[in-house]
Amino acid sequence: MGFGGGLAALSSVWLSIEGSLPPANELLATVRSQTLTIAAGDGTILQQQGPATREPLKIEQIPKPLVQAFIASEDRRFYQHRGFDRQGIFRAVWANLRSANLVEGGSTITQQLARILFLNQERSLWRKLKEIRVAMKIEENLSKDQILERYLNSVYLGQGAYGVADAAWVYFSKSVNQLTLSEMATIAGLAPAPNFYSPTVNKSAAIGRRNMVLQRMQEDGVIHASEAMAAKNAPLTVKTSSPKRLQAKASYFTTYIQRELPKYVPADVLKAGGLTVETSLNPKWQQAAEAVVLKTVTENGKWQRFGQAALVAIDPRNGEVRAMVGGTDFGKHQFNRATQAQRQPGSTFKGFVYTAAIASGLSPYKQYLDSPFKVDGYEPKNFSERFRGEMSMRDALAASINVVAVKVLMDVGFDPTIKLAQSMGIKSPLIPAYSLALGSAEVNLLELSSAYGSLATGGMHTEAHGIRRIRDRSGNIIYDAKFTSRRVLDPDSAAIATWMLRNVITAGTGGAAALVDRSVAGKTGTSDKARDLWFVGYIPQLVTGVWLGNDNNQPTAGSSSTAAYAWNRFMVQAVEGMEVEKFAALPNLDNRKPTIKRQPVKPRRISIGKITDQNSEGGSLRQGENSENYQPTRRRSRRDRQSQLRGSLWRSRLQRQTPADPQRYNRLMDRLRQNRIPRQPTLDSDQ
C-alpha cells in the first residue's frame, strides 16, 4: 500500500509538472521573454529592450576555445547526458563539500538554458523538477549545437551583458574573435556568479576563477599545459564599454514602431515579449536623413528663426517607410514631428485641389483671373499681395497663386476635394471651407507624404507603414505585412497632376528641389506667417516630405525653398545607384471623361476687385471681373480664351514666398516664360 501510494503521489507530481511545461513549439525559443528587438530592413538592430543580446551569433561564429571554456566550466559531460546529469550532481556536491565552498554547480547547460528561457530564479524543489523536465524536452527537440548557440547568446554575464558577444564588448571592448584565451576563460568563469567574478568588481576573484577554468580545459585535453600556463600568467587587462543593447538608433522611428505594435499584436503577446520586429527602415537613408535635418537646422535655423525639422521618406509602391526623422535631438525632445505634430500644410494642400480639378475633367489650361477676390466674407491674398491677371491652372499651381486655388476649389466643390484627399492618404479631419484650398486643415508629415505617393504610383495608394514582419521567441512569424494597393485616382488624372507638379520644380517655387539626373514632381508650402515651411516631392520610386518650423508655433523668417533644398540634399544621397524611372507620359487632354463629379460651391456673396498699377505685377491697369456676372465654371469663347492667354503671357509672374535676390527672381521668371506651351501641345513627359 505504501509503495502504491508513493507511486500515485509521484505520478500526480509528474502529471502536474507536465501540465505546467511550455508548449512544444516554444521549446525552440531563441530569446528570453520580456524582450523587444527592433531591426532595420537589412537586419541591423535599431533598439532593444529587456535582457537581450545585441549581437546574436551562430555557433560557427563563436571561437571553439570559448565554447570549450564554457563546457569545462559549466557542464563537462555536456555531450554525454540528455539534459540531466546525475554524475554531474554527485561530483558537484562532493567538490563543494571538500572545499567547504560553492565551487561547482549541479545544473547542466541545458538546465540553465531551460531556466533562462522558460522559468525563473526561484529556489525551490518544484522549480528544480520543472527545470529538469524542460531540459529533457529541450534535448529531445534540439541538437547539442543548437542548445549551445542559444545558451551562449542568452546567458547573463554581468554588467548588463547578455551572451558572449555582449560580454566581450562590455569587459574588453572586443568582438569574440579578437579575444585571447585568457579573456575567453575569464568570460566563461562569470556564469555561476557574474557580479562576484566580474573583473571590474573583484579582479582577484576573477583571476582565480579564470585559472580554474583554464585548469579544467587542460584536464579535459582541449588545451595544452603550455597554453594553460601562458594564459594563467597573462595580465588581466580590462577595457570596459557600455552594453551595445543600450545604444539606440533611429529613435524617432523606433518609438513610432512601438506605437504601431498594438495594431498588429494582441496585448497578451505584446506583454509576454520576446518579440523581434523587422522594419522597412533603410539604415543608409536614415543616416542621411538625420544628417540633413541636423545640418538644415544648424545652418539655416538661426537666421530663418526655426528650431526644428522633420523628414520622412516612403516607397509609394508598397507604402513602406524607409526613413523617418522627427526632430534634431531625441534625447531632449521625444515628440515626433513626423507623426505626432499636426500642422497646417499651407500650399502643399493645393496638390489635392488641382488633382481633384483634373479628375473632374477640367483642363490644366483652364484660365482663371488672379485679382482681388472676396467670397462670403473670406478674402484670400497672395503672398506678394499682388495679382497677375489671367493665368492657367498649371501656371497658377507653379507660382502657388492663392486666389486661383480658392476659385478652383469652388469649381470642384468641398466634398469631392475632401474625399479625394482622404482616399489618397490624408487621415486628419478636413473642414469644408474656402481656406481649405490654402491648407488651413492640420495634417502630419507622414500622411501628407503618403498621400502625395498616390500620384507617384499613377493613382494607386498603399497605407504607409514601417513594420514588415513580427517574430515570436521561437522565430515564428506572427505578423506579416500584407498591405494591398488600391486605386484612388485614374491613371490619366494622376499623370496630368504629376506633369503640373513637375512644372512647380522646373518653372515655379520648387526649383531648389531639382535633381540633375531625373524628373521631380512636388509642391512647396508655407502656412500663415511662415509658421510652417514644407516641401513634399517625389520620383516614381520614392516620395519624401520635409517640414521646418517651431514647436511653439512661432512665425519663422524662412521660405519653403529651404525645405525644398533640404529635400534635395537627402534625395541626392537616396537616389545614388538607383535606376532612373520615368513618369507616365502626358495623356491626350482632349475629350477626357471626368472620374469624379464636381459639386460647385454656391456662395452667397462674391466681390471681385480691380487690378491696378499698384497691385498688379503686370504693370498696367486692368478691370477685374464683375461680381454680378462671375460664374466659377462658365465657358468662354475660343477667341476670348486665345486672346486672354496671349495677354497673360507677360503678366504671369512667379510668386516668391520670401523677399529674394532680384537676379534669382529674374532667372526664375525667364524659366517660367520659356516653359509656356501652346494650348494644345504635343508633350514629351520626360523633358
Sign of the torsion angle spanned by Cα atoms 391, 656, 683, 485 = negative
Distance spanning both ends of the chain, measured CA to CA: 98
Sign of the torsion angle spanned by Cα atoms 355, 539, 459, 289 = negative
Q: How far is CA 162 from the centre of its chain?
A: 27
Nearest of 522, 525, 500 to residue 513 by alpha carbon: 522
Which helix (DSSP H) or strand (DSSP E) does residue 606 occupy? strand 606-608
Contact 365, 350 (CB under 8 A): no
Residue 104: how many CA atoms within 13 Å on its side-chain side? 23
The residue behind cell 501540465 is 19
Q: What is the DSSP string of 464-492?
A: -B-EEEEE-TTS-EEEE-----EE-S-HH
Nearest of 498, 388, 404, 418 to residue 452 by alpha carbon: 498
Cell of 173: 571592448
Contact 357, 597 (CB under 8 A): no
Alpha-carbon distance of 253 to 346, in angstroms, equals: 25
Which helix (DSSP H) or strand (DSSP E) does residue 460 occupy? strand 460-461
Helix crossing, 144-154 with 64-74: angle to 10°?
Answer: 90
The residue behind cell 518650423 is 549
Catalytic residue among 154, 182, 198, 347: 347
Contact 305, 232 (CB under 8 A): no
Beta strands 36-39 and 308-315, pairing class: unpaired
**CB-CB neighbours of 341 under 10 Å:** 21
The residue behind cell 554527485 is 90
Q: Confirm whether 347 is a catalytic residue.
A: yes
Phi-psi region of 158 (alpha: psi -120 to 50; beta: other; left: phi over 0): left
Residue 207's alpha-carbon distances to 186, 233, 654, in angstroms, are 7, 10, 77
Sign of the torsion angle spanned by Cα atoms 670, 675, 678, 679 = negative
Contact 509, 534 (CB under 8 A): no
Beta strands 460-461 and 486-487, pairing class: antiparallel
Query: How much is the CA Rg of the chain, to the nearest whole Å?
Result: 34
Which helix (DSSP H) or strand (DSSP E) does residue 664 occupy? helix 662-674
Catalytic residue among 73, 74, 154, 251: 74
Q: How many residues does the chain have?
A: 687
Measured at the CA of 192, the angle between CA 188 and CA 198, to 5 degrees, comes to 65
Alpha-carbon distance of 356 to 497, in angstroms, equals: 9
Q: Confirm whether 299 is a catalytic residue.
A: no
Cell of 69: 571554456
Q: What is the DSSP string of 150-176?
A: HHHHH-B-STT-BSHHHHHHHHHSS-G
The residue behind cell 600556463 is 229
Paired with 78 in beta bridges are none
Q: What is the DSSP string of 377-416?
A: TB----TTS-B-EEEEHHHHHHHT-HHHHHHHHHHH-HHH
Residues identified as active-site: 74, 347
